[in-house]
Amino acid sequence: MIVTVTPNAALDVTYRIPALVAGSTHRVAVAEHAGGKGVNVARILHALGEPVVATGLVGGATGGRIRTLLDAEGVPHAFATVDGESRRTLTVVDPSAATGFWEPGPAVPLEGWIALCHRFTELLGGARVVVLAGSLPPGVPPDAYARLIGLARAAGVPVVLDAEGEPLRHGLAAGPDLVKPNAAELAGLVGPVDDPVDAVRRLGAVAVVASLGPDGLLASTPDGRWRAYLPEPVGGNPTGAGDACVAALVRAPERPWPDRLRDAVALSAAAVRAPVAGTVPVDEWHRLRPSVVVEET
């Protein structure tokens, strides 16, 4: 079983419009689903037939809606409950761009953080890999991911970390097995250096897979270093593409890195093509996979 942890789970709302014009009124097509990075990873893994359970923190009516939507999709979950209202995220999508508006999330008391640690520890007994993903809500300590990595290491379970800022920096110090930053997160960690991917590895990660948008992925691992990309980048909504990348990387960790990277690029591109962020058309993934170029660097 794969366990995904989303401390700041969200109700994701997508508005689709013909064109975004500042200062104007828009009539929108609306879609909503349970979200947050780890929840998106869990949904994609479930769609691919992988055994998975999503955990994290939810609260209030919005948290109830998150649970209901996951139940409707058949995605297993085991959230801890907190007082306060889970956040909502709003993505406005037109043919040229996606514009996001992210709420901060509920204030989490110490008891809520302890409840998440207990739930996580319970789930580790059946886990073959753990994904820690997304932002931390107010009140959760900035070294939360480092502490969860320590619990997973004590249980002998490998960890994938997908975060940013201080939670990422603290998490790296705990030595995750894989970290997946994007270009902005790389720059925030190590600044303008010649080789930011290897610089991140030196901060503590066993392996780093950096997502570089339309330029694909750059991976630095103990087994080698690769770049993977599509010759012709796809257009669409990039929200959730990074979560698809993580799902592809964790579903079969025993496979050679070039195969995992080929899957990750194709699944990310398929997510860009999806009409709703956080979902993936599986047939599009299979169609794109043979076109992915993987080069050793």
Domain region containing 10: 1-18+29-140
pLDDT given at position 116: 97
Q: Which two tokens stand for residue 89?
A: 């995220």
Please report whether residue 33 resides in a domain: yes
Check which CATH number belongs to the domain holding 52 and give it: 3.40.1190.20
Q: Which two tokens stand for residue 23?
A: 């200062």
For residue 168, what are the CA distances in angstroms to 30, 145, 200?
33, 8, 10
pLDDT given at position 295: 96
Q: Which residue has the tokens 């959730």?
A: 240
Please report whether residue 131 resides in a domain: yes
Where the chain has pLDDT below 50, the residues are none
Which residues are CB-neighbours of 209 under 8 A, at least 6 positions away?
Answer: 178, 179, 180, 217, 218, 219, 245, 249, 261, 264
Q: What is the rounded distance in angstroms from the CA atom of residue 25 to the CA atom of residue 29?
A: 13
Please report whether residue 196 resides in a domain: no
Q: What is the rounded distance in angstroms from the CA atom of residue 133 to the CA atom of residue 172?
A: 13
Q: Which two tokens stand for residue 86?
A: 């889970």
pLDDT given at position 152: 98
Q: How many domains does the chain have?
A: 1
Please report whether residue 153 resides in a domain: no
pLDDT given at position 253: 87
Q: Which residue has the tokens 């993987």?
A: 294
Which residues are CB-neighbours of 290 under 8 A, at least 6 positions away?
Answer: none
> Is 162 one of the annotated active-site residues of the chain?
no
CB-based contact 63:52 (threshold 8 Å): no
Phi and psi, residue 191, nearest 5° = 70, -165
Please report whether residue 297 resides in a domain: no
pLDDT given at position 130: 98
| 3-class DSSP assignment, residue 136 | coil
Please report whether residue 253 resides in a domain: no
Please report whether residue 13 resides in a domain: yes
Out of 12, 162, 177, 243, the active site residue is: 243
pLDDT given at position 202: 86
Please report whether residue 291 resides in a domain: no
| 3-class DSSP assignment, residue 275 | coil
pLDDT given at position 277: 66
pTM higher than 0.85 for the full model? Answer: yes
